[in-house]
Structure 1
């Protein structure tokens, strides 16, 4: 008997098999440029459903690839059961303890909305629709990472289903090795059904985007370098070179400040001495609005990305970045790191000593454009002082976990994988198993 057939009767959640209506839509990842072949798709109703699926897969010799909604997909799913955890939507905020319990399917924006009434914040990234669990499993760069470190640094516990189908609560005390691996080593070790996240004080937040015509990019870049040279950890500033189809190229400054507007304006005073911007959305805002600053798409689409860590942003680097138009790229983003990212971190990534991150993005509208986008990304990366490693969440489908971690960390991750999932039941987007 086909081992997939019993799934309909075993599980309370939805199941799609090849040929079922909606199968192709259910298996599709967030990045529509990625083809994701799978043997079946399961949308778990709850953690009990996950446990039942894992026990069946274990006995039937199946493999499981887990995705809340498919961010970070690589297409390495052939023959697996794709487990969707988007319906694991538990969200409980304990304002006194400054802690939240967050289901695996909960997006960052929902955590921010739930924490805001208590003047608290999670560690949101640029998009409000990415799951907190997915970000934490990859370490996680946040708007407030300069103040509080990796997203994973704020995770205090995981609820998991292990490779034997047991539901477990994992902390640094109960299983320090597994806890360490889950805090940024990816989803290769267990199915995370929920996590506990420390929340941080955010009584005031100022932020937004300023936009100028591309001709002002040299002046904007100069101000950006001066501001970030001695910015306090509460201030985060990103620079974006943008060129959208049918529009003129522009340069943007995106910023957040965990503090009063008057303090932020003083710290960002150099920006007010630049030519009058095309737009300026900066304001005092609730932490629930931070996901709208960069106006990233909230619906799936096709894209090609490449991320790097920059060892400096000196004159030679700036000259290279601004020498030519970014086309066929849509965006070139520089994120200021430093601050708490440089502190010790009990996670696979460890501290981030590189001062800036670079993210390059384009849309593969056709094969020729896709090739041109990748060529442009490779040319820029090859001409810049990149460190040779990159954040796990910046990896693209052509890369591996070894591009994010040191050889010693990879050895430790593989040992934990062998101990907790010796039969390689769990297949993550970027597996450590070899």
Structure 2
């Protein structure tokens, strides 16, 4: 199948139209420039061609084509983590690989590479189960897994990748494989947080977790109460059980007054949750409070992140502490020119052993700094403020792979031993460089 645009038969990759069953876009096609765009519109993403795989066989056919023609394949379900490192590459869209199979008795799910978090949550919720979702329901689960993955329930169950039990992949030679810890321990290790540079994942098998009751929501206050809310947040997270997760957000949208919010989830009943959160009731009256008992299919509504493609500039750091000096740094200036400064409580199971490229996440908090690229001057101001905060806060010098910014590399997230191990695997499995991830290991 082809796009409805012009044939572009003279293009070097015109043969893709017959090599795969899915849609193909080539430069010169009327809708090529739209097809090559990533979800994050702030990233300029060049491409030699765009292929939307109809199924796993298409993925294998494309990789064999790339190997035969000296081309490179960059896989991208939708492009939340796009970096623009796709020059001269064929961008592979895996969105149509969206099957979901749930085995409730075994608490197991097998999902296609294009499945979005919200869709998996909806399927799991029907059985009183949950995967490990983050704040957005529209990110691909596979993309999160390949970066390790932080979630609402990471404090209870660890990295998202820790719940993976198997992968279906196509290797750099175009051969399908089923990968487990027993069948290919090195590749299994790498795909659970080392990025997608070593094989193209077409399906993931993962363990689901019991979630018979979940309480969650957002409490929002006017910005004048920020100092009091931050103090309450520090107290709340000082001794929170692993089942409770709380995120603090300082926000100021263009043209609006500053606000402060605490977003929470609790794996348990409302009575116990409200008892744990009682300290928030001593604060000034909030502007809004959406906390309630909910299904795990509704978790994506808590932070109300955009679900349509948009432009954004982000930077994330891991904090070694949220002490008095860190709080003073966060509150010393207005949020603007940033739109949001979010602090996420980590710890719990994330700090325990993990046989993954990142390993244990020992830092107790992460801070996410987000702004909008509203013209050159604003963009410069946003990146400057992000750098200023990163330099002043007590950061550890590393960060989660899924939160890397486009200008960063895997070395900003992983230690030297993991990088060396991943590079050796890349050299062994893909010596010609047929595959290129968002953050190439070499």
TM class by shorter-chain length? over 0.9
Residue matched to 2:249: 240
| Residue 298, structure 1, aligned to residue 301, structure 2 | no
Structure 1 gap segments, 5+ residues each: none
What is aligned with 2:205? 196
Question: Partners in 1 of 2:98 and 2:121 — Cα distance?
Answer: 14
Structure 2 Cα separation of the partners of residues 58 and 321 of structure 1: 50
Return the match for 2:178 from 151, 155, 169.
169
1:108 counterpart = 2:117: yes
- Per the alignment, residue 416 of structure 2 pairs with 407
Gaps of 5+ in 2: 1-9
Aligned residues: 433
Aligned match of 1:16 = 25
Residue among 239, 243, 249 paired with 1:230: 239
Distance 1:71 1:84 in 2: 13
Structure 1 match to 2:441: 432
- State the alpha-carbon separation in 2 of the partners of residues 419 and 204 from structure 1: 46
Match of 1:95 among 104, 117, 139: 104
Please show how residues 147-296 of structure 1 align to structure 2 within 5 Å: 147-296=156-305
Deviation of the 1:197 alpha carbon: 1.0
* Paired position in structure 1 for 2:92: 83
Aligned to 1:326: 335
Root-mean-square deviation (CA, aligned residues, Å) is 0.7
Corresponding residue of 1:314? 323
Rounded Cα–Cα distance in structure 1 between residues aligned with 2:65 and 2:32: 21
2:387 corresponds, among 371, 375, 378, to 378
Aligned partner of 1:36 among 45, 50, 54 = 45
Give distance in 1, aligned partners of 2:92 and 2:30.
18
| Residue 2 of structure 1, CA deviation | 5.4
> Is contact 2:11–2:26 with CA below 8 Å preserved after alignment?
no
Given that 1:3 and 1:60 are in contact with CA atoms closer than 8 Å, whether structure 2 keeps it comes out as no
Structure 2 residue matching 1:118: 3-state secondary structure: coil
Aligned to 2:13: 4
By how many angstroms is 1:123 displaced? Answer: 0.2
CA contact (8 A) 2:21 2:53 kept: yes
The CA deviation at 1:290 is 0.3
The residue aligned with 1:391 is 400
CA shift for structure 1 position 5: 1.3
Matched with 2:148 is: 139
CA distance in 1, matches of 2:309, 2:69: 33
Tell me the SS of whatever aligns to 2:366. strand
Instruction: Tell me how far apart the structure 2 counterparts of residues 35 and 361 of structure 1 sit (CA, whole Å).
Output: 18
TM value normalised by structure 2: 0.97
**1:407 & 1:250 partners in 2: Cα distance?**
40
SS of 1:376's equivalent?
Answer: helix
* Secondary structure of the corresponding residue to residue 126 of structure 2: helix
Match of 1:349 in 2: 358
Counterparts of 1:122 and 1:24 in 2: how far apart (Å)? Answer: 35
